[in-house]
């Protein structure tokens, strides 16, 4: 009876130790009053002084700077969940002047879904495993030749 109680306690300890609860912040740490902080900014230089460099600057289409913030929640073996998502979009005139800003929160982002799979790369060459193998013949020098 005592041995089974010890075994149960050990199994319970192992099960509970696997259930970690941890939250990691990713991206920018925005101030509480983000909207009032950025409302008076007129240039991207002032924006970068306030928040730092954006995570993304678009290179095609409208010039937009994107700042992103999220909390990742880890709950042991359960899938990672995300909350407190905030996205700051800043449209510019292509140089230093800010034209428009928009702040999106969790409720605004529900409609967005991340596509599964890979993004197609224009003019990419697709090779199967055999083509990859023969494509690499002669590319590498034997070890010890120092070339």
Concatenated DSSP letters of 46-100: HHHHHH-S-SEE-SSSS-EEEEEEEEEEEETTSPPEEEEEEEEEEEE-SSSBEEE
Q: How confident is the model at residue 146 (pLDDT cuts 50, 70, 90)?
A: low
Question: Cβ neighbours of residue 80 under 8 Å, at least 6 residues apart?
Answer: 72, 73, 74
Cβ atoms of residues 67 and 88 within 8 Å: yes
Q: What is the pLDDT of residue 53?
A: 87
Q: How far is CA 111 from CA 106, 107, 134, 137, in A?
A: 10, 9, 45, 48
Q: Where are the domains of the chain?
A: 18-112
The total of other beta-carbon atoms located within 10 Å of residue 63's CB is 16
Buried b (16+ CB within 10 A) or exposed e, 22-42: eeeeeebebeeebeeebeebe
Please state, rounded to an integer, the average pLDDT across all residues of the chain: 78
pLDDT, one tens digit per residue, over 40-91 is 888 888 888 888 888 888 877 788 888 888 888 877 777 777 777 788 888 8
Q: Which of 8-12, 28-32, 112-116 has the highest mean pLDDT?
A: 28-32
Say what percent of the chain tops pLDDT 70: 80
| Mean pLDDT across 22-35 | 83
Tell me the pTM: 0.57
């Amino acid at each position: 009876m005592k041995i089974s109680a010890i075994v149960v306690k050990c199994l319970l300890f192992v099960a509970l130790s696997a259930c970690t609860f941890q939250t990691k912040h990713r991206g920018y740490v925005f101030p509480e009053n983000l909207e009032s902080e950025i409302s008076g900014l007129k240039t991207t230089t002032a924006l970068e002084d306030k928040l730092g460099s954006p995570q993304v600057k678009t290179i095609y289409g409208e010039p937009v700077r994107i700042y992103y913030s999220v909390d990742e929640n880890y709950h042991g073996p359960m899938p990672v969940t995300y909350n407190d998502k905030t996205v700051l979009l800043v449209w510019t005139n292509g140089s230093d002047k800010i034209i428009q800003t928009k702040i999106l929160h969790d409720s605004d982002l529900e409609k967005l879904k991340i596509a599964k799979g890979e993004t197609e790369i224009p003019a990419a060459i697709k090779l199967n495993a055999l083509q990859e193998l023969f494509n690499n013949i002669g590319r590498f020098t034997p070890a010890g030749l120092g070339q």
